[in-house]
Amino acid sequence: MSAPPSAPASAAALPADSLLELRELTRRFARARDWEQFHTPKNLAMALSVEVAELAEHFQWLATGADAELDAPAREGIRQELADVLLYLVQLADQCQVDLRQAALEKIALNGEKYPAEVVRGDARKSDRY
Amino acid sequence: MSAPPSAPASAAALPADSLLELRELTRRFARARDWEQFHTPKNLAMALSVEVAELAEHFQWLATGADAELDAPAREGIRQELADVLLYLVQLADQCQVDLRQAALEKIALNGEKYPAEVVRGDARKSDRY
Amino acid sequence: MSAPPSAPASAAALPADSLLELRELTRRFARARDWEQFHTPKNLAMALSVEVAELAEHFQWLATGADAELDAPAREGIRQELADVLLYLVQLADQCQVDLRQAALEKIALNGEKYPAEVVRGDARKSDRY
Amino acid sequence: MSAPPSAPASAAALPADSLLELRELTRRFARARDWEQFHTPKNLAMALSVEVAELAEHFQWLATGADAELDAPAREGIRQELADVLLYLVQLADQCQVDLRQAALEKIALNGEKYPAEVVRGDARKSDRY
């Protein structure tokens, strides 16, 4: 038996892959609030950098940000800010028609050529210094 | 027949889900270069904000950043910066033991309560102004 | 008659120039709180980027951020964030032994050569595109 | 004898105070290039965050960014980025009709109340944790 015609759009099955699933969920979220008008690539890029700063704020006075330096509220804050960054990133990529997974895989390959393991081992200097 | 014992670690099967796959690939990348020592949460948070700014730079003087305003080099640059942001985000979440997909799903649910569709429709003001 | 020997350091006359005056005031502020230990150049750079994001946040969903788009609380927030950015900038320059005024004057001269008025008039593209 | 009527505007005397001097110089620079049209508060805020990230980039993999960790090119880069940040900050404040020196002095006074020296000595936690 097929799904009843009255099934709301938001009940449609979600993609199995996490990045595609989040893309679909953020689309529905923005559409339901009529927020698509604000989500220009430029505004999303700006919102993304604001969220990244809120994330960085948790680490700014710490020595390294390692677990032992963080209390429970900080850890929960970090978790939520990481989520915010991902959600804006997914939306910005969506507006720019970029397949995030594909772009990331290509970038890893590119970085592999730019920073050959045997040359840069243990050295974090930028490649343009070589 | 099982895999030969000499199979290199990097040839091990990758997770099917994109976020887990990228987490595994960035782990291998850092390990092969002995870069784990630089990848403290604090340093990764800083690197993440640098990449986000490189992304934002493409949009700063544009009206909206919509497709028609971007030329091919800008589009390729944006694609690569989006990838960089995702790769650092995955690494930072990994160092903080945060499951990015799970955190993002919870944040969407939280945002749904914070910004009820019927209240905020067409209004982008921050929730704390309500 | 000269000042009494018991006059506290904080009562000493301030430099007349605004950037030098703020440098002296931020030094006194940090010293009085024993915060100099946290004010490494790296931490100050991170704090600076957090403050800049708090400033940017006021503009992210606006069309241009022009006066007519801002209400009184936003204007007051912007004013305070501009101050925070300047205060961290002055402290970071101080830690890096950089004379901000001198560096800015040199940068204006450099930019004048990089972007000759007759070549770039009305065009905001980056110089490396020419 | 008065100045000849042909004296160019750019030869007019500059204010003695560094922040006012830089404000005047950035105004002339933008006017000569017809760049005022791009300098909306929003675009300047975005440009400011890009420059801050370029500054932060010099510190991201260092332990503290202290002098001994920096080579000469890094130091020169930092000097130039500090200048860029100040120049955009001055322009943004100008567009927002904010007197930077006055705002910074008020913020120092406000911070003095928010973080009383005898309470926060040696502790960098945010005031809202108290």
Residue A4: per-residue pLDDT: 46
> Side chain identity at A82, as an amino acid letter?
L
Chain D hits for B53, CB-CB cut-off 8 Å, are 49-50, 52-54
Distances (CA, A) of C25 to C78, D82, D108: 22, 19, 8
| Cα–Cα distance, A94 to B107 (Å, whole number) | 19
Question: What does the pLDDT read at residue A13?
Answer: 92
How close is the nearest chain A Cα to the Cα of B6, in Å? 20
Sequence-ordered list of residues with C-beta below 8 angstroms from that of C88, at least 6 positions apart, any chain: C44, C47, C48, C51
**Hey, what are A76's tokens?**
């929960």
ipTM of the complex: 0.89
Query: CA nearest D55 in B: which residue?
Result: B50
Q: Using the predicted structure, report yes or no on whether residue D5 has a pLDDT greater than 70.
A: no
From residue B122, how far is each of A30, A34, A37, B5 by CA, in Å?
A: 10, 5, 8, 60
For residue C49, give every residue at least 6 positions away whose Cβ sits within 8 Å of its Cβ, in sequence order, or none. A53, A56, B49, D49, D52, D53, D56
Q: Give the model's pLDDT for residue C65.
A: 85
Indicate which of B48, B57, B59 best probes the interface with D, i.e. most D CBs within 10 Å of its own CB.
B57
Give D124's contacts in chain A (Cβ within 8 Å). Answer: 61
Q: Which amino acid, residue C106?
A: E
Residue D101, both tokens: 């020196």
Share of chain C above pLDDT 90, in %: 78
CATH architecture of A17-98: Orthogonal Bundle (1.10)
Q: Determine whether the interchain pair D49/B56 forms a contact, defined as Cβ–Cβ distance below 8 Å.
A: yes
Residues found in chain C: 130
Q: Above 60 in pLDDT, residue B6?
A: no
Say yes or no to pLDDT of A6 above 70: no
C partners (3+ CB pairs within 8 A) are A, B, D
pLDDT number for residue B34: 94
pLDDT band at C122 (very low <50, low <70, confident <90, very high): confident
What single letter denotes the amino acid at residue D94?
D
- Which of C18, C108, C120 lies closest to D19 in CB terms? C18
Separation between Cα atoms, residue D43 and residue C63, nearest integer Å: 10
Q: Please tell me the predicted confidence (pLDDT) of residue D7.
A: 44
Percent of chain A with pLDDT over 90: 78
Work out the mean pLDDT of chain C and round it to a whole number.
Answer: 89
Instruction: Report the alpha-carbon distance of residue D68 to residue C125 in Å, rounded.
Output: 37
Q: Which of B79, B113, B121 to mutate to test the interface with A (most CBs of A within 10 A)?
A: B79
Least Cα distance to A85 among A47, A59, A57 occurs for: A47
The average confidence (pLDDT) of chain B is 89
pLDDT tens for each residue of C41-98: 999 999 999 999 999 999 999 988 888 999 999 999 999 999 999 999 999 999 999 9
Please state the rounded mean pLDDT for residues B27-47.
95
Statement: residue B1 has pLDDT above 80: no
Cβ separation of A124 and D49 shorter than 8 Å? Answer: no
pTM of the model: 0.88
pLDDT digits (tens, 9 = 90+) for B44-76: 999 999 999 999 999 999 988 888 899 999 999
Given a contact cutoff of 8 angstroms between Cβ atoms, the answer to whether B74 and A53 are in contact is no
Q: Identify all chain C residues contacting D79, using CB atoms and an 8 Å cutoff.
A: 96, 98, 103
> What's CA A82's distance to the chain center, in Å?
8
CB contact under 8 Å between C60 and A50, yes or no, is: yes
Which one has a higher pLDDT value, A129 or D41? D41
Q: What would the two tokens of residue A34 be?
A: 């009529």
Q: pLDDT tier at A99 (50, 70, 90 boundaries)?
A: very high
Q: Which residue of C has its CA nearest to A38?
A: C61
For residue A96, give how far its alpha carbon lies from the nearest alpha carbon of chain C (Å).
18
pLDDT value for C125: 67
Percent of chain C at pLDDT > 70 equals 87
- What's the CA gap between A89 and B88, in Å, rounded? 12
D120 CB neighbours in chain C (<8 A) are 33, 35
Chains interfacing with B (3 or more CB pairs < 8 Å): A, C, D
- Point out the residue among D43, D54, D60 whose CB comes nearest to the CB of B43: D60
Nearest chain B Cα to D57, which residue? B50
Task: Tell if the CB–CB gap between C97 and D62 is shorter than 8 Å.
Answer: no
Q: What is the pLDDT of residue B63?
A: 86
DSSP SS3 for B19: helix
Using the predicted structure, report yes or no on whether residue C128 has a pLDDT greater than 60.
no
- Spell out the residues 6+ positions from residue A91 whose beta carbon is closer than 8 angstroms to its own: A23, A26, A30, A39, A44
Which residue in C50, C56, C60 is closest to A57 by CB distance? Answer: C50
Please report, for chain B, the start and end positions of each structural domain, with discontinuous segments joined by +.
Answer: 17-98
Q: Across chain B, which distance is largest between two alpha carbons, in Å?
A: 64
The CA–CA distances, whole Å, from A55 to B20, B42, C28, C82 equal 21, 10, 29, 20
pLDDT digit string (tens) for D62-93?
988 888 899 999 999 999 999 999 999 999 99
Query: Taking 50 as the threshold, does the pLDDT of residue B97 lie above it?
Result: yes
Overall average pLDDT of the B12-24 stretch: 96
